[in-house]
């Protein structure tokens, strides 16, 4: 093996990649439990299909565009690694093989478009969604990943390496990117039938809790694995991830109690995810106490943010904007305040004597990614809607998107149908069950 290779670091990154992969099924359960019963399978499928589409694109050209040698100005990689050709098995990224790094970053590319799907739950055509994922990954995610993550000693991505924007594990490239895209698609597709009139409650809170637990578990690979080595920085990122998530859950629950008079399991799950989102960019640069502050602020602010969609008439079905966009912005900006300068990434924030310089850099990263993703996502969504159609018909939305798009149903409420073959799905439910699920 080449000089500098570490078997321990390689094993750590490969295990982290597997943990990040588990996050996509976890997201599917989280989203699937939050929708009404007649859309459950559609939400699961929208996440799972990202595993298929993005994996193939990553090999064809995605890795090359995101992490190939810079084609100029830190904007995009070249095509040297199309088909992953030309990658020497003995080549290293740090102390790990390039192939290990490639598969780790692939898992980031997979879950990012899957996050968007929650903003348009209950009303998107599956084929149109698949097309959007392919186009969005190509035009939006791969370039942004190059801007933020590609490192080449001052000649890498223009945001991260050249302008000093700190994003340890994807606050801008993943969460702000996905949240801005979700906002754009929610505007393009418009609100669901019955929005602000029907309750549209989650049909399975146990499924939501299971999904959030899997996300929390997988997120340790997401954040700690981004150190790309089994070292102290990875340990600190792991610890910061845990305490920020816990603090965010408490912050969200406290807000719920003060505002609505109850502690809800949905709030606990959502608060945890908000904390995970917010600490993602900051886990390699803040102290554990700073992580607690990031989590508390993210939990309370994201809980308040999701109520604004009703005021503005924005049907962000599963709060992608309120959690991922707002949480990503909070975590990215707070680096400019709480970065210690000696945890992992070296810049110091305002509260540690670093002045306002890093905060300005963080604001630049937030603004650029948010605007780029929103504009391109709106254009892609509008083009699909005006050509092949993005939104399902009113009849399909009312009768059930699972049956229309997948010819299946998540549950069979009839005893007689329990033993029927899978090739003849049924969806017979009582009127009361349908009302409760909505």
Residue 314: CB atoms within 10 A of its CB come to 17
Number of Cα atoms under 13 Å in the Cβ half of residue 21: 13
pLDDT for 429: 35
- Please state the rounded mean pLDDT for residues 292-316: 96
What φ, ψ does residue 124 adopt, rounded to 5°?
Answer: -110, 140
Number of Cα atoms under 13 Å in the Cβ half of residue 406: 21
Helices 126-136 and 357-387, axial angle in degrees (round to 10): 140
Q: Which among 208, 6, 171 has a CA at the least distance from the CA of 97?
A: 6
pLDDT for 179: 98
CA atoms 221, 226, 229, 232: torsion sign: negative
CATH topology for the 7-387 domain: Ammonium transporter fold (1.10.3430)
Beta strands in 36-157 (DSSP E): 92-93, 96-97
Instruction: Quick: pLDDT tens for 241-282.
Output: 999 999 999 999 999 999 999 999 999 999 999 999 999 999
What is the distance between the alpha carbons of residues 165 and 365, in angstroms, rounded to a whole number? 6
pLDDT higher than 50, residue 152: yes
pLDDT higher than 90, residue 422: no
The CA-based dihedral angle spanning residues 10, 15, 20, 21, taken in that order and rounded to the nearest 10 degrees = 110
| pTM for this entry | 0.93
* Tokens found for residue 62: 């995605």
pLDDT higher than 70, residue 140: yes
What φ, ψ does residue 191 adopt, rounded to 5°?
Answer: -70, 155
pLDDT for 332: 98
Can you tell me whether residue 96 is helix, strand or coil? strand
Instruction: Quick: pLDDT tens for 90-133.
Output: 999 999 999 999 999 999 999 999 999 999 999 999 999 999 99
């Amino acid at each position: 093996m080449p000089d500098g290779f570490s078997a321990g670091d390689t094993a750590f990154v490969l295990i982290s990649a597997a943990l990040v992969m588990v996050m996509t099924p976890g997201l599917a359960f989280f989203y699937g439990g939050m929708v009404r019963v007649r859309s459950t399978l559609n939400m699961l499928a929208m996440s799972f299909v990202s595993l298929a589409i993005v994996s193939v694109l990553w090999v064809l050209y995605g890795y090359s565009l995101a992490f190939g040698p810079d084609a100029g100005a830190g904007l995009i990689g070249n095509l040297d690694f199309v088909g992953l050709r030309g990658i020497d098995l003995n080549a290293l990224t740090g102390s790990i093989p390039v192939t290990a790094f490639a598969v780790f970053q692939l898992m980031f590319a997979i879950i990012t478009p899957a996050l968007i799907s929650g903003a348009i739950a209950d009303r998107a055509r599956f084929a149109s969604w698949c097309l959007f994922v392919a186009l969005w990954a190509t035009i939006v995610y791969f370039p942004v990943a190059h801007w933020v993550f590609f490192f080449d000693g001052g000649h890498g991505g223009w945001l991260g390496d050249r302008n000093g924007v700190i994003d340890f594990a994807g606050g801008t490239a993943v969460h702000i990117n996905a949240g801005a895209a979700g906002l754009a698609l929610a505007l393009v597709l418009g609100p669901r039938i019955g929005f602000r009139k029907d309750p549209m409650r989650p049909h399975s809170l146990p499924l939501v809790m299971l999904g959030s637990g899997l996300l929390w578990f997988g997120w340790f690979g997401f954040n700690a694995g981004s150190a790309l080595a089994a070292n102290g920085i990875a340990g600190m990122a792991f610890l910061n991830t845990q305490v920020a998530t816990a603090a965010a859950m408490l912050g969200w629950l406290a807000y719920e109690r003060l505002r609505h008079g109850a502690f809800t399991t949905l709030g606990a799950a959502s608060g945890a995810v908000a904390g995970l989102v917010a600490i993602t960019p900051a886990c390699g640069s803040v102290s554990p106490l700073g992580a607690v502050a990031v989590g508390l602020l993210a939990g309370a602010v994201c809980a308040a943010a999701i109520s604004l969609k009703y005021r503005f008439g924005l049907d962000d079905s599963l709060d992608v904007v309120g959690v991922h966009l707002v949480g990503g912005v909070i975590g990215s900006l707070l680096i400019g305040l709480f970065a210690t300068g000696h945890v992992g990434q070296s810049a110091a924030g305002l509260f540690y004597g670093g002045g306002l310089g890093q905060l300005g850099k963080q604001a630049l990263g937030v603004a650029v990614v948010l605007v780029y993703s929103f504009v391109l996502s709106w254009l892609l969504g509008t083009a699909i809607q005006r050509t092949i159609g993005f939104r399902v018909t009113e009849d399909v939305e009312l009768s059930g998107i699972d049956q229309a798009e997948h010819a299946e149903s998540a549950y069979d409420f009839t005893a007689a149908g329990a033993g029927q073959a899978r090739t003849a799905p049924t969806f017979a439910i009582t009127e009361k069950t349908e009302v409760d699920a909505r």
